[in-house]
């Protein structure tokens, strides 16, 4: 994935809340499209923790609030 993600063309698909995201989804975080590795929430469901991989193969964790809106992208075929 990391070698080919840079060459992929993405198309905006939807605007989702963190509770609608799935592992493997491509989302936009800080003007960069990344792929979700795992997603979990805290015990209240107010905060979501998204572990992701960017197009350089680097891993990081983003903290999202339940009312955030996240742009979902799909790969152009």
Tens digits of residue pLDDT in 22-77: 999 999 999 999 999 999 999 998 999 999 998 889 999 999 999 999 999 999 87
Render pLDDT for 27-38 as a digit per residue (tens, 0 to 9).
999 999 999 999
Cα separation, 51 vs 43, whole angstroms: 17
- CATH no. for residue 41? 2.30.30.30
Residue range of the domain that includes 51: 2-75
Burial category of 25 from C-beta neighbours within 10 Å (exposed 0-12, middle 13-18, buried 19 and up): buried
Q: How many domains does the chain have?
A: 1
Side-chain-side CA neighbours of residue 33 (13 Å): 18
């Amino acid at each position: 994935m990391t070698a080919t993600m840079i060459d992929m063309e993405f198309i905006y698909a939807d605007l989702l809340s963190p509770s609608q995201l799935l592992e493997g989804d491509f989302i936009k975080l800080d003007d960069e499209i990344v792929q979700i590795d795992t997603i979990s929430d805290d015990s209240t469901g107010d905060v979501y923790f998204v572990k992701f991989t960017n197009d350089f193969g680097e891993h990081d964790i983003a903290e999202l609030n339940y009312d955030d809106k996240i742009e979902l992208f799909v790969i152009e075929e």
